[in-house]
């Protein structure tokens, strides 16, 4: 058994379109959606040579990968996660789904002629909150984006309290299945679908419906300027690369005059994790952010901000990574209107309430940055030479210029992005708090066993209430005009937060810590 660290909220990436744009380059555009329409019959499908385009409704911030397993193909929606390394699906006879609503599809081994049992009861992932998935290790054909990986090894869950499958695309050293095996990204290379073990992630803005992930290549139309190269850090033992861990030297907020307020006191090591929607940061940083924004707490780790205080400002966030890399993030990507995160407060503290997309990590870490940051960054994950390439994203890009990475490459190629930078950084006029010295690193220490998968799903609760019990958005009461003090705690009886998409069982699984049902 291996233990995984679980983030607060899951990011699920929906690979709805696919293009084989050049030899050994695979591009999978990503679409956001969050209701049960994704589980219904697919519609709006058109096929061209090497291209698969699908149209689905966008009603939230849930992202799933549309894949198939078996022969004939059985369709699934799986969580796309750079923070874990195993793929697994739910078994058709899984007992937990008789009580709780499971989503994303079920796998029937008897219906697949290419199914093979590798190890009975060999799949077991236990998460930090004691949620887990257990089952067999199997192999079967795995289809995605018009290609089929033959005999991919994956888990088949018979018991779970996560309620959907996962598609991990991290390092094979981070696998939960023993012994180590060629996972999804390994198989793409070994079976000749891509030349180089790397992929590039473009999520686009919170409001946009689509993004893209390119396996084996880089899309230079999706970012602006040169890619900055940051070496990935090894684990504390210094022997392996289990996660996409890089140093974060600075996290600041910059106002429209260029004045910056720094929130870090020292460099921390962060995981660039698409499996986490928010940020998990040290308590000291969260305290400073909450004070700066006059945010209020619901008492369970969630913070809320009066959006009216920032309606006409040009405040943005800046992230300093590596030696000299700065990524600028719009204020609204991290302080998010509630309707865009699919939740609503019963008794909101402000007339115009936003949720802060940052929460306190466990003491000592690990520290993670998810899609609240990654949407503003174009990130190349190089699993061959252990590097991260990063640049300012180009929001709203509708064109593509895919460049494949040669199998003999010694690292990420120096490709300049042709996209438009709509977030050109200001030169800070002053800084209210001195930025930390990069050499004073406070390295995060994971609480999991070495090599355990990181952040592959949601923070689990003992149970999830059926969708019918979710209070609809219409029940939200008007906000009090009184302004709570900074760091105040909401004192309403009963659940503070309810989901707006009550008809969607999948949307309930976004963040079980945000849905405090008994």
- pLDDT tens per residue, range 263-283: 999 999 999 988 777 899 999
pLDDT of res. 106: 93
pLDDT, average across residues 169-195: 92
- pLDDT tens per residue, range 454-478: 333 322 222 222 222 222 222 222 2
Give the up-direction half-sphere exposure of residue 419: CA atoms within 13 A in the CB hemisphere.
32
pLDDT of res. 212: 80
In this structure, of 29-38, 129-138, 196-205, 315-324, the range with the lowest mean pLDDT score is 29-38
pLDDT above 80: residue 52: no
Query: 428 or 80: which carries more pLDDT confidence?
Result: 80
**Residue percentage of the chain with pLDDT more than 70:** 67
pLDDT of res. 11: 35
CA 44/CA 424 separation, integer angstroms: 37
Query: 512 or 376: which carries more pLDDT confidence?
Result: 376
Q: What is the pTM of this model?
A: 0.77
pLDDT of res. 162: 81
In this structure, of 121-125, 264-268, 488-492, the range with the lowest mean pLDDT score is 488-492
The backbone torsions φ and ψ at residue 82, rounded to the nearest 5 degrees and listed phi first, read -75, -10
pLDDT of res. 274: 82
DSSP state of 364: T
Residue 377 to residues 17, 225, 274, 371, 390, Cα–Cα distance (Å): 21, 12, 12, 9, 6
Query: 394 or 237: which carries more pLDDT confidence?
Result: 394
pLDDT of res. 61: 57
pLDDT of res. 24: 62
CATH architecture of 219-442: Beta Barrel (2.40)
CA 486/CA 482 separation, integer angstroms: 13
CATH architecture of 2-200: Beta Barrel (2.40)
- For the chain, the average pLDDT equals 73
pLDDT, average across residues 307-313: 81
- pLDDT tens per residue, range 369-379: 988 899 899 99
The backbone torsions φ and ψ at residue 201, rounded to the nearest 5 degrees and listed phi first, read -115, 125
CA 452/CA 317 separation, integer angstroms: 31
Active site residues: 81, 273
Where along the chain do the CATH 2.40.70.10 domains lie?
Answer: 2-200, 219-442
């Amino acid at each position: 058994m291996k233990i995984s660290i679980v983030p607060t909220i899951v990011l699920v990436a929906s690979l709805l379109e696919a293009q084989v744009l050049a030899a050994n380059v695979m591009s999978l555009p990503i679409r956001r959606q969050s209701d049960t329409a994704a589980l219904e019959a697919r519609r709006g499908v058109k096929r061209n040579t090497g291209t698969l385009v699908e149209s689905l409704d966008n009603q939230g911030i849930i992202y799933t990968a549309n894949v198939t397993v078996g022969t004939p193909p059985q369709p699934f929606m799986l969580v796309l996660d750079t923070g874990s390394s195993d793929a697994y699906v739910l078994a058709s006879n899984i007992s937990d789904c008789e009580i709780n609503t499971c989503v994303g599809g079920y796998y029937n081994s008897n219906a697949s002629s290419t199914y093979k049992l590798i190890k009975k009861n060999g799949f077991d992932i236990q998460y930090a909150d004691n949620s887990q998935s257990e089952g067999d290790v199997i192999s079967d054909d795995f289809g995605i984006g018009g290609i089929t990986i033959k005999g991919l090894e994956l888990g088949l869950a018979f018991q779970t309290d996560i309620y959907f499958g996962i598609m991990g695309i991290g390092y094979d050293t981070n696998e939960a299945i023993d012994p180590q095996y060629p996972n999804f990204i390994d198989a793409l290379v070994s079976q000749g679908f891509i030349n180089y073990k790397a992929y590039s992630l473009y999520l686009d803005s919170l409001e946009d419906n689509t993004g893209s992930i390119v396996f084996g290549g880089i899309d230079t139309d999706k970012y602006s300027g040169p890619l900055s190269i940051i070496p990935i850090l090894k684990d504390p033992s210094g022997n392996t690369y289990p996660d996409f861990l890089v140093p974060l030297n600075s996290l600041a907020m910059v106002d429209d005059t260029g004045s910056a307020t720094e929130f870090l006191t020292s460099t921390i090591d962060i995981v660039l994790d698409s499996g986490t929607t928010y940020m998990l940061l040290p308590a000291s940083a969260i305290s400073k952010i909450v004070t700066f924004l006059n945010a209020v707490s619901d008492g369970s780790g969630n913070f809320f901000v009066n959006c009216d205080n920032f309606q006409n400002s040009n405040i943005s966030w800046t992230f300093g990574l590596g030696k000299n890399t700065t990524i600028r993030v719009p204020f609204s990507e991290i302080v998010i209107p509630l309707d865009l995160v699919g939740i609503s407060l019963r008794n909101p503290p402000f007339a115009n309430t936003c949720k802060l997309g940052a929460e306190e990590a466990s003491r000592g870490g690990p520290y993670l940055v998810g899609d609240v940051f990654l949407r503003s960054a174009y990130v190349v994950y190089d699993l061959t030479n252990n590097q991260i390439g990063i640049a300012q994203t180009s929001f709203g890009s509708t064109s593509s210029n895919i460049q494949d990475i040669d199998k003999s490459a010694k690292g990420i190629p120096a490709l300049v992005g042709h996209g438009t930078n709509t977030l050109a950084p200001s030169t800070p006029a002053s800084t209210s708090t001195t930025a930390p010295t990069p050499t004073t690193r406070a390295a995060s220490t994971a609480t999991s066993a070495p090599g355990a998968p990181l952040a592959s799903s949601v923070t689990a609760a003992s149970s999830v209430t059926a969708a019918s019990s979710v209070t609809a958005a219409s029940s939200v009461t008007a906000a009090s005009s009184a302004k709570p003090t900074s760091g105040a705690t909401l004192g309403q009886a009963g659940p503070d937060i309810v989901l707006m998409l009550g008809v969607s069982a999948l949307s309930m699984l976004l963040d079980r810590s945000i849905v405090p049902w008994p």
